[in-house]
Structure 1
Amino acid sequence: MNAVEASEQLIELVRGNDDIANHADGCDAGTMAAAESDLGVAFPPSYRRLIEEFGTWDIAGEEFLGVYQTPAMGQKLLGSVTETLDARSQYGMPSDLIVVMFDGMGGLVALDSSQVDREGEYPVLVWNPGDVDRDSMERLGDDFGSFAFALCQRAVTRWQESG
């Protein structure tokens, strides 16, 4: 299964578990282009697919930043855009990383656009404020779709088994 196929499986998982999942309404092409412009980097195909579908989402306790707007914040792009730009300005995060979630231990789960594979996907790393050496960053996956689907599938299974 490639990264985009994994994203499609994750979409089915979220839609099939609406009792333990939440999501927004997705992003249109204009919002997506604005997000990429603000960040100065394109989203990889598997992350783009999920943002198009949901904007932002969570399932069984796993939260993904995505890209979204709220009436209170107006046109400001929230989620990955805000968190990435904040991490860059406040903590010196490299400009080729895109924050997609928090790791729960002070680190940021990020996509590394400096390492593009043949399908246009970026590896998933954990960036901690102050990290400068990419080789020392924990690698969570080869692409976002596969990483996110596996993470969510485990979370849903644990949720079901605990209930």
Structure 2
Amino acid sequence: MSIAMYDDAIRSLRDNGIAVLGTKSATEDDLNQIETRLGVALPVSYKKMLSEHGALEFDTIEIYGWLSQGIDAKFITNVVYAAERERADGRISETMIPFLAAGYGPFYVMECAEMNTDGEAPVYEVSTGGYTNGKDKLADSFGEFLRNEVRRTLEARAQGGLEFGEDEDSPPSREFISEFWKDRAKDFE
């Protein structure tokens, strides 16, 4: 079911003319390296994203994944680097996989210790201080989370909330981004 949600999300982006950008697709060997290094089985919908896109970017969303530099890439968008860094800082448990920063403090993780029989893990929003300071369940799977993010993106565009100006391919201004995240941060006060 969550694979269908993932596929629906990608199809919706393309059908609505939103560029779906990726890096280097992960091979089966790459996926095995990631799982071995992080000591967890990855959720199936996230593995599909890794094998199709490597890392995934659309609109203002940048999901961590596999990069062309390989398993030791020292970029936050490398899921291995992000997980090892957050684990070392004590912000996530050894079974959590971070995949997206909110941009205003909290970040999103898949909790692989709670993997269901379909091979999916729930998604949580983790507070800036780390999982011991609070986490909120947002979705039952990465596929569901992605589908929901795509729907929010499409709704915001339809309402003019995230329009970037006359040229829809132009990036948002720094002022727009700053104000957007300041307003979003109020949700967590």
Q: Which has the higher contact order (CA 8 A, sep 6+)?
A: 1
| Rounded Cα–Cα distance in structure 2 between residues aligned with 1:92 and 1:59 | 26
Which shifted more, 20-29 or 81-90? 20-29
Match of 2:156 among 155, 158, 162: 158
The size of the alignment, in residue pairs, is 157
Equivalences for 1:3-82 in 2 at 5 Å? 3-16=2-15, 19-70=18-69, 76-77=72-73, 79-82=78-81
Between Structure 1 and Structure 2, the one with more strand by share is 1
| Rounded Cα–Cα distance in structure 2 between residues aligned with 1:4 and 1:67 | 19
Indicate how the Cα distance of structure 1 residues 86 and 75 shifts in structure 2: closer, same or farther if over 3 A, else same: closer
| Rounded Cα–Cα distance in structure 1 between residues aligned with 2:72 and 2:17 | 27
Percent identity between the two aligned chains:
20
8 Å contact kept, 1:124–1:147 = yes
Q: Which amino acid aligns with 1:51?
A: L
Indicate how the Cα distance of structure 1 residues 56 and 16 shifts in structure 2: closer, same or farther if over 3 A, else same: farther
What is the match of residue 148 of structure 1? 146
| TM-fit CA distance, 1:119 | 0.9
Q: Which amino acid aligns with 1:114?
A: A
Q: Which amino acid aligns with 1:98?
A: I
| Rounded Cα–Cα distance in structure 2 between residues aligned with 1:125 and 1:75 | 24
Q: Which amino acid aligns with 2:154?
A: V
Structure 1 segments of 4+ aligned residues over 6 angstroms from their partners: none
| Rounded Cα–Cα distance in structure 2 between residues aligned with 1:92 and 1:11 | 30
Indicate how the Cα distance of structure 1 residues 58 and 17 shifts in structure 2: closer, same or farther if over 3 A, else same: farther
TM-score where L is the length of structure 2: 0.74
Instruction: Tell me which structure has the larger Cα radius of gyration.
Output: 2
| Rounded Cα–Cα distance in structure 2 between residues aligned with 1:75 and 1:69 | 9
What is the match of residue 186 of structure 2? none
Q: Which amino acid aligns with 2:39?
A: G
Q: Does residue 131 of the first structure (1) align with residue 131 of the second (2)?
A: yes
Residue ranges of structure 2 left out of the alignment (5+ in a row)? 164-189
| TM-fit CA distance, 1:93 | 2.0
Residue ranges of structure 1 left out of the alignment (5+ in a row)? none
| Rounded Cα–Cα distance in structure 1 between residues aligned with 2:23 and 2:50 | 9
**Per the alignment, in what secondary structure is the counterpart of residue 113 of structure 2?**
coil
